[in-house]
């Protein structure tokens, strides 16, 4: 109990020191190590939890990646990994989705839930109050008496008064109170994580494979015949439609140019939109058709082949969309949105593969949801590792007619550093006023760095100080 109370006091102070008024850098790595260590100490059973191990490792890798590459997306995924670490402490054996859900619930509502529980159980609340009085009352009374005598001594002795006045007492800004609250919420969650009990139990009972004994095929035979006929006709028509769509794309590719009146922007964006709708329809219809007894009914080879064919054609649609996106990048340069299209296409292919596995191996809808959310998390973690801002600048400035330097100026510090390096090598890259904008952005960052402590160190901050050492505007 003493360790838990000490954590509730010290962790808010540590969070204030690490983050209040600081730039995100080394402090994210230190907090990752601290959170992982505390969760392991207070919940040693989590050391055997698969999702705790994955999320802990991911948070360390992502925070370190942000430290050296400056990828802002790494911070978002690191935050999600922290939530999973907290959620994994709630109960062993829960799914990835429940780890995230319990982590968010425990972090945001853990303290409020505890207060409401005490209000609804007054007898236990009275016991806790009596215990708190015995534990804290002597210290509070002693502190008040000591402060009273200290003020009297200071009033009677000018030397002591002068000494106390000149002490640099810490000032508690609103931001410090905010970070103290964050630290207290994390500490409360680690001390006693709160879970969504019924959902968690139901989650642990959920089966990932379908069992033939759970379905009465003879009873549903008439209904299944109608569903299978409808599904067969529907999938056959959809296969023809998507095949025609892909053939149209291949024809356009073979021509080497777009039809008159069609732009690359509309060509790619509409392709991605149709792909999203097509994949959702594909997965939804297949999940409906193969939700239960159909998986074990006789004479389902035809509809299974059509379903597998539709999955394959959707994969082909994803590949043609990837090629469109590559053409767009080749002509207009690289941006985060265009990188995001490739990430989405990878997730799409993974979703189609898991849908295929569901049909072939008679898996449940829960299998599809759990597997795809886990794949999405790991994929987005990988996406957060490369230094995209620097790569975007390097790619785009190689194009002789590239003019969207405003977008390059909107990137993070790593992109700005790469842009400055390129501008120094090629003075014609940026117009005069844009060079001033770049210089001012780096100077503003330099001021923030100089105000921060050692916990804000990062590779990009180090290079910014080096790049702005002369302090001369262009």
> pLDDT digit string (tens) for 78-112?
999 999 998 888 777 678 888 888 888 877 776 55
Q: Can you tell me the mean pLDDT for 229-248?
A: 85
Residue 219: band (very low, low, confident or very high) from pLDDT cuts 50, 70, 90: very low
Residue 2 or 1, more confident: 2
Q: Does 288 fall in a domain? A: yes
Query: What pLDDT shows up at residue 435?
Result: 87
Q: CA–CA separation, 156 vs 20, rounded Å?
A: 38
Cα distances (angstroms) measured from residue 292 to each of 211, 214, 295, 299, 464:
9, 9, 6, 15, 60
| In the block, residue with structure tokens 């509809």 | 303
Cβ atoms of residues 86 and 187 within 8 Å: no
Question: What's the pTM value of the predicted model, to 2 decimals?
Answer: 0.81
Which whole number is the average pLDDT over 215-224? 56
Statement: residue 405 has pLDDT above 90: no
Query: Mean pLDDT highest for which of 62-76, 80-94, 401-415?
Result: 62-76
178 and 228 in one domain? no
| Three-class DSSP labels, 390-431 | HHHHHHHCCCCCCCCHHHHHCCCHHHHHHHHHHHHHCCCCCC
Lowest mean pLDDT among 36-45, 139-148, 406-415: 139-148
Q: Is residue 217 part of a domain?
A: no
Residue 101 covered by a domain: yes
Q: Are residues 119 and 61 part of one domain?
A: yes
> CB neighbours of 414 closer than 8 A, spacing ≥ 6?
69, 70, 71, 387, 389, 390, 460
As a whole-number percent, the residues of the chain with pLDDT over 90 amount to 24
- pLDDT tens-digit readout, 183-206: 888 888 888 777 776 777 777 677
Which of 363, 397, 432 corresponds to the end of one domain? 363
Position 302 in a domain: yes
| 125 and 94 housed in the same domain | yes
The residue from 158, 175, 203 where one domain ends is 203
Low-confidence winner among 48-57, 289-298, 347-356 (lowest mean pLDDT): 289-298
**DSSP of 124-144:** HHHHHHHHHHHHHHHHHHHHH
Task: Say whether pLDDT at 330 is over 80.
Answer: yes
pLDDT tier at 455 (50, 70, 90 boundaries)?
Answer: very high
379 inside domain: no
Contact 343, 302 (CB under 8 A): no
Q: Is 136 found in the same domain as 99?
A: yes
Residue 181 and residue 249 share a domain: no
Among candidates 65, 68, 96, 91, which has minimal Cα distance to 80?
96
The reported pLDDT for the residue numbered 27 is 95
Distances (CA, A) of 332 to 155, 269, 406: 73, 14, 14
* Cα gap 252→242, rounded to integer Å: 16
Confidence of residue 223 (pLDDT cuts 50, 70, 90): low
Residue 182 shares a structural domain with residue 226: no
User: What pLDDT, on the 0 to 100 scale, is given for residue 33?
Assistant: 96
How far the first Cα of the chain sits from its last, in Å, is: 61
- Co-location of 336 and 448 in the same domain: no
369 belongs to a structural domain: no
Is residue 286 in some structural domain?
Answer: yes
Regarding whether 230 and 118 lie in a shared domain, the answer is no
Same-domain check for residues 183 and 308:
no
What's the rounded mean pLDDT across residues 19-30?
Answer: 93
User: Does residue 230 sit in the same domain as residue 258?
Assistant: yes
Asked if residue 34 has pLDDT above 70, the reply is yes
Other CB atoms within 10 Å distance of the CB of residue 86: 28
Task: In whole angstroms, give the CA distance from residue 38 to residue 104.
Answer: 18
* 40 and 170 inside one domain: yes
What total of structural domains would you count in the chain?
3
Q: How confident is the model over 435-455, as a mean pLDDT?
A: 90
Query: What rounded mean pLDDT belongs to the chain?
Result: 81
pLDDT of residue 127: 52
Residue with more model confidence, 252 or 220? 252
The domain in which residue 397 lies consists of 389-467
List, for residues 355-399, the tens digit of each pLDDT value: 888 888 888 888 888 899 999 999 999 999 999 999 999 999 888
pLDDT score at 125: 46
Residue 472: inside a domain, yes or no? no
The gap from C-alpha 129 to its chain's centroid, in whole angstroms, comes to 40
pLDDT of res. 139: 65
Among the listed ranges 11-20, 94-103, 320-329, which one has the minimum average pLDDT value?
A: 94-103
Binned at pLDDT 50, 70 and 90, residue 25 comes out as very high
Asked if residues 195 and 91 have their Cβ atoms less than 8 Å apart, the reply is yes
The answer on 179 and 261 residing in a single domain is no
Say if CB 261 and CB 323 are below 8 A apart: no
**Looking at residue 308, what is its pLDDT?**
87
Cβ-count burial of 454 within 10 angstroms (0-12 exposed, 13-18 middle, 19+ buried)? exposed
pLDDT at 124: 47
């Amino acid at each position: 109990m003493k360790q838990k109370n000490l954590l509730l006091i010290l962790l808010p102070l540590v969070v204030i020191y690490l983050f209040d008024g600081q730039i995100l850098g080394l402090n994210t790595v230190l907090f990752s190590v601290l959170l992982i260590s505390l969760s392991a100490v207070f919940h040693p059973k989590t050391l055997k939890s698969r999702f705790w191990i994955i999320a802990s490792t991911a948070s360390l890798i992502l925070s370190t990646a942000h430290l050296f590459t400056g990828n802002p997306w790494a911070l978002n995924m690191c935050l999600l990994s922290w939530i999973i670490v907290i959620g994994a402490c709630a109960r062993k054996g829960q799914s990835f989705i429940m780890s995230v859900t319990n982590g968010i619930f425990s972090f945001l509502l853990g303290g409020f839930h505890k207060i409401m529980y005490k209000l609804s159980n007054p007898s236990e609340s009275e016991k806790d109050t009596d215990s708190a009085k015995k534990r804290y009352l002597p210290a509070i009374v002693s502190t008040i008496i000591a402060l009273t005598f200290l003020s009297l001594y200071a009033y009677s002795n000018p030397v002591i008064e002068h000494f106390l006045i000149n002490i640099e007492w810490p000032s508690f800004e609103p931001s410090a109170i905010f970070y103290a609250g964050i630290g207290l919420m994390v500490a409360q969650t680690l001390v006693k994580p709160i879970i969504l009990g019924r959902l968690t139990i139901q989650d642990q009972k959920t089966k990932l494979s379908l069992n033939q004994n759970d379905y009465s095929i003879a009873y549903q035979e008439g209904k299944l015949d109608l569903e299978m006929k409808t599904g067969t006709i529907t999938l056959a028509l959809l296969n023809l439609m998507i095949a025609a769509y892909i053939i149209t794309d291949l024809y356009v590719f073979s021509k080497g140019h777009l039809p008159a009146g069609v732009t690359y922007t509309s060509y790619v964006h509409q392709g991605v939109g149709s792909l999203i709708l097509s994949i959702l329809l594909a997965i939804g219809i297949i999940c409906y058709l193969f939700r239960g007894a159909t998986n074990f009914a006789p004479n389902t080879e035809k509809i299974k082949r059509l379903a597998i064919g539709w999955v394959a054609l959707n994969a082909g649609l994803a590949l043609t969309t990837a090629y469109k996106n590559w053409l767009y990048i080749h002509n207009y340069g690289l941006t985060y949105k265009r990188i995001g299209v490739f990430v989405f296409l990878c997730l799409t292919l993974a979703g189609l593969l898991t849908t295929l596995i569901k049909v072939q191996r008679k898996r449940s809808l829960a299998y599809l949801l759990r597997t795809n959310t886990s794949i999405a998390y790991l994929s987005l973690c990988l996406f957060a590792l490369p230094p995209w801002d620097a790569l975007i600048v390097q790619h785009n400035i190689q194009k002789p007619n590239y003019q969207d330097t405003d977008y390059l100026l909107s990137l993070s510090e790593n992109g700005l550093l790469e842009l400055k390096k390129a501008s120094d090598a090629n003075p014609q890259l940026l117009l005069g006023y844009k060079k001033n904008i770049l210089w001012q952005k780096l100077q503003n960052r330099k001021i923030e760095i100089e105000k921060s402590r050692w916990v804000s160190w990062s590779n990009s901050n180090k290079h910014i100080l080096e790049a702005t050492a002369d302090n001369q505007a262009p």
